[in-house]
Amino acid sequence: MEKKEMIYEGKAKKVYSTDDENLCIVSYKDDATAFNGLKKGTIAGKGAVNNRMSNMIMKLLEKEGVATHYVEELSDRDTVVKKVKIVPLEVIVRNISAGSFAKRYGVEEGIEFTEPTVEFSYKNDALGDPLINSSHAYALGLATKEEIEKKKKTALKVNEVMKKYFYTLGIKLVDFKIEFGKLPDGKIILADEISPDTCRLWDLKTNEKLDKDRFRRDMGGVEEAYNEVFRRLTNE
Ligand code: ADP
Ligand code: UDP
């Protein structure tokens, strides 16, 4: 399968059309942004880590009964996926307080929740991806009530599968963001990526951050953190 035309260039990936109108190729870049694009940089090797990690996780989720866009890994950075219309609702699951949760409610990072939380953001760069509740998402026609419930349920299932898996790698899954997309027949599947760009991952013993917060917060050791996650995933 080959790339035809670039149909979209985002902050972290390019999306290409293919000869099959139902499939596209995503190509992962080393570019990194934070704070809605205000902070820009590159993280050497990130594209390859994110591509391969995302594919490994999507395959694991498929095995556990979660439908995803994953089709075939072409190379270090390129993957064939089912083409979907992205639902502009980002679903965020949290197991431990961090990031915008800690800031919004004035609590420290690292509080382990009794139960995971689920929230939605309206995927809209111009507005800075604002937090949105279910009734507002429904009012805006972003999803039906059934679709909203299904997304919450699937997000919690994704959390259970990933949490267990990362634990075996000595990693705490703090929080993550996922996106869903619609196939031409209306079926909703998991799309986009699951990587250290979209998850907070802390070392089980030391709580060392192994994710994009190292870039957001200028902590140093950014490439090393991505490589460490990859090393644990592949046992290399
Ligand atoms: P952003 O748009 O936030 O800058 P990226 O750089 O990751 O993000 O760009 C990739 C774009 O492709 C995103 O908008 C994402 O929603 C979209 N996308 C992800 N998976 C698919 C898919 N299977 N089909 C179509 N679009 C997808
Ligand atoms: N996240 C993401 N994309 C976004 C916003 C958040 O992938 O546009 C991820 C982020 O990496 C973290 C989780 O979602 O793992 C929760 O992020 P939070 O709401 O705390 O926001 P942030 O601190 O990133 O602003």
pLDDT reading at 174 higher than 90: yes
**Nearest ligand (C-alpha, residue 26):** 1
CA 193 to ligand 1 center in whole angstroms = 8
- So what's the pLDDT on residue 36? 87
Average pLDDT over residues 40-67: 98
- So what's the pLDDT on residue 90? 98
- Token couple for 55: 């594919």
Topology annotation, domain 6-82 = Phosphorylase Kinase; domain 1 (3.30.200)
- Mean pLDDT in the chain? 97
Please choose, from the candidates 161, 173, 221, the residue with its C-alpha nearest in 3D space to the C-alpha of residue 199. Answer: 173
Is the beta carbon of 198 within 6 A of some atom in ligand 2? yes
- What are 93's strand-pairing partners? 118, 176
**Nearest ligand (C-alpha, residue 96):** 2
Residue nearest to atom 14 of ligand 1 (CA): 10
Is the beta carbon of 87 within 6 A of some atom in ligand 1? no
| 122 three-state secondary structure | strand
Is the beta carbon of 51 within 6 A of some atom in ligand 2? no
Mutate to test the pocket of ligand 2, among 38, 54, 92 (most ligand atoms within 8 A of CB): 92
Is the beta carbon of 13 within 6 A of some atom in ligand 1? yes
Topology annotation, domain 85-228 = D-amino Acid Aminotransferase; Chain A, domain 1 (3.30.470)
pLDDT reading at 225 higher than 90: yes
Residue 159: phi, psi to the nearest 5?
A: -60, -45
Is the beta carbon of 196 within 6 A of some atom in ligand 1? no
pLDDT reading at 84 higher than 80: yes
pLDDT reading at 206 higher than 80: yes
Average pLDDT over residues 164-182: 98
Rounded CA gap, 212 and 19, in Å?
34
- So what's the pLDDT on residue 172? 98
**Nearest ligand (C-alpha, residue 183):** 1
Q: Do 209 and 219 form a contact (C-beta atoms < 8 A)?
A: yes
Per-residue pLDDT tens over the stretch 96-116: 999 999 999 999 999 999 999
CA 73 to ligand 2 center in whole angstroms = 26
Residue nearest to atom 5 of ligand 1 (CA): 10
The string of DSSP codes covering 99-117 is HHHHHHHT--TTPEEEEEE
**Position of tokens 């390859």?**
48
Is the beta carbon of 191 within 6 A of some atom in ligand 1? yes
Average pLDDT over residues 122-144: 96
In the chain, what are the domain boundaries? 6-82, 85-228
**Environment class of 217 (CB within 10 Å of its CB; exposed 0-12, middle 13-18, buried 19+):** exposed
CA 93 to ligand 1 center in whole angstroms = 19
Of all residues in the chain, what percent carry a pLDDT higher than 90? Answer: 97
pLDDT reading at 236 higher than 70: no
